Amino acid sequence: MKTVSPRVKLKDYLAENLPNLDRGLLPSRAKLLGGIAVLRLRPELEAHRFRIGELTRRFYKVKAVYLIRGVEGVERRPVLELLSGERAGEIVHREYGCAFKLDPEELMFCLGNSFERLRLAALVGDGEVVVDMFAGVGQFTIPMAVLANPRKIFSIEINPKAYRYLLENVKLNGVEDRVQPILGDCREIASEKLKGVADRVVMGYFWGTMKALPAALKALKPEGGIIHFHELARRGGEEELVEEVMEKVEELGYSARLLGWRKVKSYSRTRNHVVADILAAKRKA
Ligand SMILES: C[S@@+](CC[C@H](N)C(=O)[O-])C[C@H]1O[C@@H](n2cnc3c(N)ncnc32)[C@H](O)[C@@H]1O
């Protein structure tokens, strides 16, 4: 076993220790989350995954290395296989001075959204009321509450497991005074209990964000507000998707002004994760 120099990359380290494998197939990096590493592997490396996991654990000096095979269900449960080390249990991931506790075998935490979390927090104005419709464990809520100065964030989550961590993370970050977690379906809660309260609505979800758009619009204050609409777009089809969302907003009886859109990350070979910031207000009858 070769020793690791701090300048060596994971791919180089794996290639040195596994000289029989095609270097081009080896992963360049793993995602590091609260003391564990999460790897994606090309299918050709399936038979070598445990050895790669073991080497990755040594390389990063982490407690455990997992292989991610995908995410499933409405609740976005990660499908992980432990390759090396001990089961992680609960971890605390830290980012921009915020702490996020979660069980990575049960719940998603996407490192690729890291800049978007910071960008969003920087947009929140003093005294704003925000509705976070797909709150998860507080991925967007916590940075907005910690780094900005909102009056209130209503954070809605349907999965009781994620909701439990959302509650914990609110306490862990000392933002109980400004965050109100709510367990339930955001499509009902935003359009009924939170009707007309929000300056800003965050829709951090894929595969069906559109279905929750009518509820997001209803949650906006009568004078209007901003919606951050997340979805997956076909590569090259990002503007088309944004156009479609704008048309839908208009169709629902609201004026829509596009403040901007950005690619958050590449999601797969064919799709990008996109967010559109839309200023919307109910049209007068
Ligand atoms: C993938 S996570 C994203 C968390 C965070 N918004 C982000 O973008 O990093 C999506 C979350 O939305 C929750 N969810 C899905 N449908 C929902 C609904 N109808 N109402 C409230 N939460 C929902 C899931 O349980 C999951 O925790």
Q: Check residue 140 and give its pLDDT.
A: 98
Superfamily of domain 107-282: Vaccinia Virus protein VP39 (3.40.50.150)
The pLDDT tens digits for 142-156 are 999 999 999 999 999
Question: Is the whole-model pTM more than 0.85?
Answer: yes
Q: How far is ligand 1, taken at its centre, from the CA of residue 89, in Å? A: 21
User: Ligand 1 pocket, 95 CB below 6 A?
Assistant: no
- Kindly state the average pLDDT of the residues 17-44: 96
- Kindly state the average pLDDT of the residues 181-203: 98
> Cα separation of 281 and 250, whole Å?
10
Q: Check residue 8 and give its pLDDT.
A: 74
Superfamily of domain 10-88: Met-10+ protein-like domains (3.30.300.110)
Q: Check residue 74 and give its pLDDT.
A: 87
Q: Check residue 1 and give its pLDDT.
A: 55
> Cα separation of 274 and 49, whole Å?
31
Give the chain's mean pLDDT.
95
> Cα separation of 52 and 260, whole Å?
41
> Cα separation of 27 and 239, whole Å?
31
Q: Check residue 6 and give its pLDDT.
A: 54
The pLDDT tens digits for 229-242 are 999 999 999 999 99
Q: How far is ligand 1, taken at its centre, from the CA of residue 209, in Å? A: 10
Fold matches, 10-88 and 107-282: no
User: Ligand 1 pocket, 187 CB below 6 A?
Assistant: yes
Q: Where are the domains of the chain?
A: 10-88, 107-282
H or E segment to which residue 31 belongs: strand 31-33
User: Ligand 1 pocket, 74 CB below 6 A?
Assistant: yes
The pLDDT tens digits for 51-96 are 999 999 999 999 999 999 999 988 889 999 999 999 989 999 999 9
Q: What is the DSSP string of 173-234?
A: TT-TTTEEEEES-HHHHHHTTTTT-BSEEEE--SSSGGGGHHHHHHHB-TT-EEEEEEEEEE
CA 61 vs CA 53, 65, 84, 238, 245: distances in Å: 12, 10, 11, 39, 44
Closest ligand 1 atom to residue 107 Cα is 27
pLDDT at 256 over 70: yes
- Kindly state the average pLDDT of the residues 98-103: 97
